Amino acid sequence: MRMRPKILFCATVDYHFRAFHLPVMEWFQQMGWEVHVAARGTLVLPHTDQKFDLPIERSPLKRANLKAYRMLKAIIDKEGYDIIHCHTPMGGVLARLAARGARARGTKVIYTAHGFHFYKGAPLRNWLLYYPVERWLASRTDCLVTINEEDFGRARRADFRAGMIAHIHGVGVDTAYYAPIGEEEKRVRRERYGYSPDHFLLIYAAEFNANKNHRLLIYALAKLKAKAPTARLLLAGEGPLLHECRALATQLGVAHMVEFLGYRDDLDELYPMCDAAAASSLREGLPVNVMEAMACGLPVVATRNRGHNELVDEGRTGFIVEPDDVASFASRLQLLYFFRDSRRRMGERSAERAQRYSLEQVMGELGEMYLTFMMEASPGGAKDQYRRAYL
């Protein structure tokens, strides 16, 4: 009797799956598949039949990655997976190297690039290090999944020799969970969190690191404070630069206007009560924080990069400015502060645009891709089941 088909999900750290991929893992279990996860960390993940803690490091130069490779190869050779789907740069490198023998035996290997490290404007060292590696590994990939148009176009133009190159609209936002609310509910919710209807609430949910560029927002707020005294910047997240940003807010005299919220698991409550979202990062693939804010009906002021450019429709759902242009960022916030009707219309268009990145949409796109490989691994009776699920 044939055992259940198996899929292995691999990434650098296990919280990547908790944040982005639980719906897909759940669906595989519902389809009768055995779901395994390999990553660094000891989280207990739902929808997981077996989990392996590997010493994967983000830096490709760390010696621990050699040990992680050996462990992963042993797991793959023992378990006999039908599909391996890897994520994150190092998770993708190690899994595809470790799966070379398994591919020869029929295992299908999928890699999702959540944003190539080589991109328009990237440092030369990124191109020298990551581009040749990804191009070489593409030939060891049955399906290369990209999540933005720039990466999709580059993979095709550069002749990445993957079996298939797919474009999926991100990881999917649950638009039933992240959704706009009415004015009365907004008033009640603000009161519950300690804000008044007169506050202009701007929100940014991101780890405090150099790439997320929080300093731009604090400098922009300092330029805005005289004209928009009721503005409040809500910063949700933690990270190594948190204390530096607190000090900067104090130094610029806007500490009373910046709320450092720490890690939050109630963003679905916070986004809809706000007036606008900010996104100041230097590099993005297709940022979930922006998609969630848009789904909640917020206009977005964002810095120019491939992920923001794809999500924000300039002048219709928000504004795009250069990542070092404090004056322009402040002026766009000022427009949203004073022109409430325009702000409302932009927010409505944001919510409409977010539908193309909804969980339902993305699951359908993933299903089209998965279906080809799942049917090869399953007995004839299951093929109709898979087709009914996605086609």
Q: Where are the domains of the chain?
A: 6-172+358-390, 183-356
pLDDT at 158: 77
Mean pLDDT of the chain: 94
Q: What is the DSSP letter of 51?
A: E
Take residue 65 and report the two structure tokens written for it. 């990655």
Percent residues over pLDDT 90 in the chain = 88
Residue/partner pairs of 126-130 with CB below 8 Å, 24 or more apart: 129/60, 130/89
**220 close to 330: Cβ distance less than 8 angstroms:** yes
Question: pLDDT grade, residue 295 (50/70/90)?
Answer: very high
- Identify the burial level of 77 via C-beta atoms within 10 angstroms of its C-beta, where 0-12 means exposed, 13-18 middle and 19 or more buried: middle
pLDDT at 61: 85
Angle at 210 between CA 208 and CA 212, to 5 degrees: 60
Burial 227-239 (b: 16+ CB within 10 A, else e): ebeebbbbbbbeb
Spatial distance between the Cα atoms of 139 and 123, rounded to a whole number of angstroms: 25
Question: Mean pLDDT lowest for which of 164-168, 185-189, 386-390?
Answer: 386-390
Spatial distance between the Cα atoms of 291 and 358, rounded to a whole number of angstroms: 9
Full DSSP string of 321-372: E-TT-HHHHHHHHHHHHH-HHHHHHHHHHHHHHHGGGBHHHHHHHHHHHHHH
CA nearest neighbour of 373 among 87, 75, 164, 89: 164
Take residue 305 and report the two structure tokens written for it. 């990069």
Fold agreement between 6-172+358-390 and 183-356: yes
| Residue pLDDT, tens place only, 151-168 | 999 999 877 889 999 999
pLDDT at 254: 98
Q: What is the pTM of this model?
A: 0.90
pLDDT at 380: 55
| Residue pLDDT, tens place only, 308-319 | 999 999 999 999
**How much is the average pLDDT of 261-275?**
97
Laid out side by side, the sheet with 50-53 consists of 50-53, 34-40, 6-13, 83-87, 108-113, 143-146, 165-167
Place of tokens 């603000």: 190
6-172+358-390: CATH class: alpha beta
| Residue pLDDT, tens place only, 86-121 | 999 999 999 999 999 999 999 999 999 999 988 888
Spatial distance between the Cα atoms of 388 and 384, rounded to a whole number of angstroms: 6
| CATH no. of 183-356 | 3.40.50.2000
List residues bridging with 152 in a β-sheet.
none
pLDDT at 190 over 50: yes
Q: What is the four-CA torsion angle of 233, 13, 93, 97, rounded to 10 degrees? A: -170
Take residue 131 and report the two structure tokens written for it. 């581009």
**126 close to 154: Cβ distance less than 8 angstroms:** no
Angle at 377 between CA 375 and CA 379, to 5 degrees: 75
pLDDT at 390 over 50: no
Question: pLDDT grade, residue 345 (50/70/90)?
Answer: very high
**How much is the average pLDDT of 185-203?**
97
